[in-house]
Amino acid sequence: MALTIGDIGARSTAGRRTMRRVAIAGCRLVLLAAVTGALAVTARAENAAPSAVPKAELEAKVNYCENCHGVSARGFHGYYPIPRLAGQQPDYLENQLQAFIERRRTNPIMFSVGHVLSPAMVAALAATFKALDPKPLGGGPHELTAAGKTIYENGIPEAQVPACASCHGPEAKGDGQFPRLAGQLFDYVSNKLVNWDKERGQDPNKPDASSIMQPIAHNLTASQIKAVAAYLSYLE
């Protein structure tokens, strides 16, 4: 059963603090599990500086990406929602591209795109998208944003859902392996959280930071997911 805004507001300060501590501890454990992969990504990036890619080649690849991800990579509402890449954390983008390549994350289109990219191009694309900052497309139901903001900032302790801000930051800008969510498409966030197990974590022997979201996504109701997605869709 979905919680009402009143129910959410009645949670104790102690409960919120406990969930924040649990979230932070969980984030650290998952990052430790992913340390080998993260170090590999870092090493590739250090050996493949964006400047190693000819400007014309980088511009052509960025234009190619924007065919699907929209002008300035702000996302696109097509047959299915295609995510915003603008402002995204480079570590997260590089990690997820590798996940597509290794089929730890299921998406046939992104596998085809990712496996032909050189480490230098991946690093250059990640740096380029990080620097973009277009206005969000919005699109989430306005009447859900207040409830979504409360969940994002405080979590739902009784459902074992920590505050989203504990990993993604108070402004949802992300940090390292934890992605930026601000301005992400409403329908994209909704779809991914509802179908998390069908795409992510396809190789449990190679977990990454995104694995912490599996139980969280599972414990959120459909209405709570929509509320959080609506709130995020308008953040700049």
CATH number of residue 182's parent domain: 1.10.760.10
- Residue 42 within any structural domain of the chain: yes
| More reliable by pLDDT, 206 or 196 | 196
Whole-model pTM? 0.79
Lowest mean pLDDT among 12-16, 36-40, 110-114, 232-236: 36-40
- Of 88, 118, 84, 87, give the one whose Cα is nearest residue 101: 118
pLDDT, position 203: 85
Q: How far apart, in whole angstroms, are the C-alpha atoms of residue 185 and residue 88?
A: 13
Domain residues for the domain of 78 are: 9-233
Number of domains in the chain: 1
| pLDDT tens digits, one per residue of 52-81 | 899 999 999 999 999 999 999 999 998 899
Share of the chain above pLDDT 70, in %: 78
